[in-house]
Amino acid sequence: MNDKNTNEDELVVFVCNDLGSITRGRAIPLADLQEKMQTGVGWVPINQTISPFDQIPESDLWGSHGDRRLLPDPATEVRVDLALGYTPLHFFLCDITHLDGSPWDVCARTFLKNTVEDLRERTGCSVRAAFEHEFAFTDMQPAADPGFSLARLRAVEPFGTHLIRAMRQAGQEPETFLAEFGVAQYELSCKPALALAAADRSVIMRELVHETARQHGRKASFSPKLTPDTLGSGVHIHFSLLDEAGKSRTYDANRPGRLSEIAGQFSAGIVKYLPSILTFTAPSVLSYERLIPHSWSGPYACLGERNREAALRICPTVETSGRRPDEQLHLEYRACDATANP
């Protein structure tokens, strides 16, 4: 655990990412951290049904009853101090549990852990994944510099540098930061990690974009579509299947698209069940304003080799300096946005 800070008043926030992909939680003083790592903090079951507009639905399952805990996972500690006049951002991602610490099946992180285990039992595979996150500054003038231009990249400095610094302080592994094509749009991507760590990283990435923007007096939005005429912001999930030893099971040079049999089956399953899968990965009204042709959002229910209009894309491999394709080949699921819980 990070012991750099001796200020016992520092707030440490225990958080979870809710079903609408909003990170919510409660803070404690750093002085109490040791004890609270064991007990967590109180949480309320209906918090899982509060809408992004802070309304509790009429048909709420739990009403005013019941109690849960937010139990922190020590592996997820994030402490970022950009020294820009703000207090450090210090938080842990948590599971939502019953009072005895046993898993609660409405906790999205628990659901992911169970799914990862289910996949391993049925196929012997695990998933390695990396998230790309697009976002737009709502405070930036639309007539700004062109997409992908050095000018637009520099226009927000030192935001980019501070974002990379925040990610690295948090122990995450940022890969690229770029000025995207949409209005005031930028993108952050990270290196791959095993499924749970990758999903945690997706939550952390978004929170660090918000935090860095906040400290710069800016406002970043991950909305799938900010206005009807602008390009949307997507979440692209790169992934490959691994065997028990952690070697890729995704590649077979002799098959179509160089996809192994199991990766082909996995892809076919995604394409077949895409309408149902969209319930989770494109869960908001605005999600469907983004999923339209000619915006590279992956609106077509197909597997495409190096085609950005396909919901599922076979990504290229880099073969410079004799690099081998077998551990690199992977898929990219593009029909996702940040209104989805990762």
Residue (of 16, 75, 13) closest to 45 by Cα position: 16
CB of 185 to ligand GLU, least distance (A): 7
231 binds, among Mg ion, ligand GLU, none (CB under 5 to 8 A by kind): ligand GLU
CB of 306 to ligand GLU, least distance (A): 12
d(CA 281, CA 312): 13
Residues whose CB is less than 8 angstroms from the CB of residue 139 and which lie 6 or more positions away in sequence, other chains included: 218, 219
Question: Which ranges in the chain belong to alpha helices (H)?
Answer: 33-39, 108-123, 150-155, 159-169, 195-215, 261-272, 274-281, 287-290
| Residues in 303-342 at the binding interface with ligand GLU, rule: CB under 6 A | 308, 334
| Residues in 115-134 at the binding interface with ligand GLU, rule: CB under 6 A | 134
Give the DSSP letter of residue 212: H
DSSP letters of 267-283? HHHHHHTHHHHHHHHS-
CB of 330 to ligand GLU, least distance (A): 16
| Residues in 280-299 at the binding interface with ligand GLU, rule: CB under 6 A | 290, 295-297
CB of 235 to ligand GLU, least distance (A): 8
Contact 215, 320 (CB under 8 A): no
Residue of 30, 190, 231, 274 interacting with ligand GLU (CB under 6 A): 231
d(CA 5, CA 40): 21
| Residues in 174-193 at the binding interface with Mg ion, rule: CB under 5 A | 187
- Dmax (CA) for the chain in angstroms is 62
165 binds, among ligand GLU, Mg ion, none (CB under 5 to 8 A by kind): none
Residues whose CB is less than 8 angstroms from the CB of residue 150 and which lie 6 or more positions away in sequence, other chains included: none
d(CA 131, CA 172): 12
- Give me the residue whose beta carbon is nearest to Mg ion: 187
283 binds, among Mg ion, ligand GLU, none (CB under 5 to 8 A by kind): none
| Residues in 133-152 at the binding interface with ligand GLU, rule: CB under 6 A | 134
Residue (of 310, 292, 293) closest to 301 by Cα position: 310
| Residues in 4-63 at the binding interface with ligand GLU, rule: CB under 6 A | none
Nearer to ligand GLU, 128 or 238 (CB): 238
Contact 18, 35 (CB under 8 A): no
Binding piece for ligand GLU, criterion CB under 6 A, among 8-16, 36-44, 226-234, 262-270: 226-234
Which positions from 157 to 196 touch ligand GLU by CB under 6 A, shown as an x/- string?
-------------------------x--------------
d(CA 48, CA 175): 32
Is residue 202 a contact residue for ligand GLU (CB under 6 A)?
no
Q: Name the residues that contact ligand GLU, by CB under 6 A.
A: 134, 182, 231-232, 234, 290, 295-297, 308, 334
